[in-house]
Structure 1
């Protein structure tokens, strides 16, 4: 039998990214990442310090969600064939903005590819994606640029619940809101590399 192999623990991730362009809002998923760590074969994430919160991840990329607001600690460490390295931590603040229409920015771009977007890039994206009419009554039209492939469109209410979900590769998407109650909603457009959030008001 071959001798047992032993592996050195990998280094600590140099940092955990912050969300781009927007505060972390309760009930809205926000993405983080860590730069690649030498010798890392996998990564592990955790969140502590806040009730009813969680984190899911795919390697160095993680998505944080919470049903409460306040200060939390986000954790990440690299592993080398199961041998863990030291934890890297980041203090994050989750705001109670899912119930406050004034707390949402008009639009949020969260990039999963390892590059945080600037406010200028967020403004450029706002000019490219059209969501109209706003306020809406019976339908919401969404027009996306050729440069971005959004595959899933969701309509999320102020409780954080998805009330409509559409999978479509089309550049023009229509959401029927005849059966949706009036109020403040979030349009969430998801692609492989990014998530776009924009608030919309439905009035009858």
Structure 2
């Protein structure tokens, strides 16, 4: 039996993102995100019920400000006390793990999918999913972009507006486009 596009995505192989099963999963995520964005903050709390149920895991004390966007949700894993400020986008075609105590500023973007470089295959919807791991107690400044395949170590700092294309060691501070280390 041939692997489904979802199975290929989960395996880190090239898959077609223009697929009915994946479309359905994205629609489920869109409904959960919509509920989170439109529910009264007092009623919603830290995570709206449908968004909390959608996420792969969300430990105690996680807070996701609205608006928030994700592709699927089930690949997102939030450690205890994680804070995502307003406007964060996580395109979670692969696992995204965010360690306890980590804070993402407003409009941080995490992009796991990478589209094919061949224009014909790209137009056909081929992409590959690369995971992102952010360690404990990291601080990701507002407007930062984190590409798939990147690991950010514990206690690291990513400056606002930085574009992170390579992994960041624990305790390091990176800034710029592309993000480069600076002394703290």
Regarding TM over 0.5, the answer is no
Q: TM-score, normalised by structure 1?
A: 0.25
Query: Could you say which structure has the higher helix fraction?
Result: 2
Q: Answer with 1 or 2: which has the greater Rg.
A: 1
TM-score by length of structure 2 reads 0.27
